[in-house]
């Protein structure tokens, strides 16, 4: 494929890929553009120290804010790889479909999508071994606490939460890719990929808890 084509990391969080276009929808990235506001919000207890540090990191790492369930800010057929790790489990099913259609749009013909998610099968197997339902719920992160304090509600609006909306195993994620138009979706071992010359892409990202699936446009 032409070297002019983009390589894209979507929902990169704190692990952008060097030399790639890195996108994330964290409100903290928008706050990073208001450096005078962040210290004030921090003193009011509305922004955690970790969020302030991430704002500085995102600015220095050239991470671009984007809501990829609505639009990936790239032209049609302009990317050879779209990569996302531990992002789609935070989306509801409709938003996941919208994101995958956007990924399909920006990928050039025969382009690769690589999706990494927490492996539900792994968590269920842990539950079968230890029989601890509370640990299962903690591992899946599907439960939510009520936000009763006003400060907690404002923090949520400013930074979101890290709970999950849906969980997948390799087979269910491969079916989802096929249903949104991707060819030959396959489950891969950590470190394996069909991406040509993956460069600095971390093919082992969160290998102790993840499943890896790739497909092609």
Question: Domain-by-domain residue ranges, the chain?
Answer: 6-216
| Least confident interval from 6-15, 156-165, 199-208 | 156-165
Whole-angstrom distance, CA of residue 8 vs CA of residue 105: 13
pLDDT tens digits, one per residue of 81-96: 999 999 999 999 999 9
Whole-angstrom distance, CA of residue 204 vs CA of residue 137: 25
Q: Which residues pair with 10 in a beta bridge?
A: 23, 84
- pTM for the model stands at 0.87
CATH class of 6-216: alpha beta
- Do residues 215 and 178 lie in contact, with contact meaning Cβ atoms separated by under 8 Å? yes
Whole-angstrom distance, CA of residue 188 vs CA of residue 214: 7
Whole-angstrom distance, CA of residue 172 vs CA of residue 209: 16
Confidence band, pLDDT 50/70/90 cuts, at residue 43 = low
pLDDT at 153: 57
Token pair 């609505």: residue: 70
At 60, list the tokens: 């220095």
Q: Beta strands 210-216 and 183-188: pairing type?
A: antiparallel
Whole-angstrom distance, CA of residue 119 vs CA of residue 114: 15
Nearest CA-CA partner of 92 in 51, 127, 142: 142
DSSP state, 196? Answer: S
pLDDT tens digits, one per residue of 169-187: 999 999 999 999 999 999 9
């Amino acid at each position: 494929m032409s070297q002019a084509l983009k390589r894209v990391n979507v929902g990169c969080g704190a692990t952008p890929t060097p030399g790639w276009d890195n996108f994330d929808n964290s409100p903290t990235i928008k706050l990073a553009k208001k450096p005078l506001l962040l210290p004030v919000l921090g003193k009011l207890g509305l922004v955690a120290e970790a969020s302030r540090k991430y704002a500085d990191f995102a600015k220095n790492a050239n991470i671009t804010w984007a809501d990829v369930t609505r639009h990936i800010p790239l032209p049609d057929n302009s990317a050879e790889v779209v990569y996302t790790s531990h992002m789609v489990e935070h989306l509801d099913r409709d938003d996941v479909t919208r994101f995958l259609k956007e990924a399909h749009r920006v990928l050039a013909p025969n382009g690769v999508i690589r999706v990494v998610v927490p492996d539900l099968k792994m968590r269920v197997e842990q539950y079968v071994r230890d029989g601890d339902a509370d640990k299962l719920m903690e591992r899946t992160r599907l439960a939510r606490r009520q936000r009763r304090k006003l400060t907690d509600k404002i923090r949520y609006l400013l930074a979101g939460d890290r709970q999950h909306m849906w969980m997948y195993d390799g087979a269910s994620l491969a079916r989802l890719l096929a249903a949104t138009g991707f060819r030959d979706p396959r489950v891969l071992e950590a470190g394996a990929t069909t991406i040509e010359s993956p460069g600095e892409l971390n093919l082992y990202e969160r290998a102790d808890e993840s499943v890896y699936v790739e497909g092609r446009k």
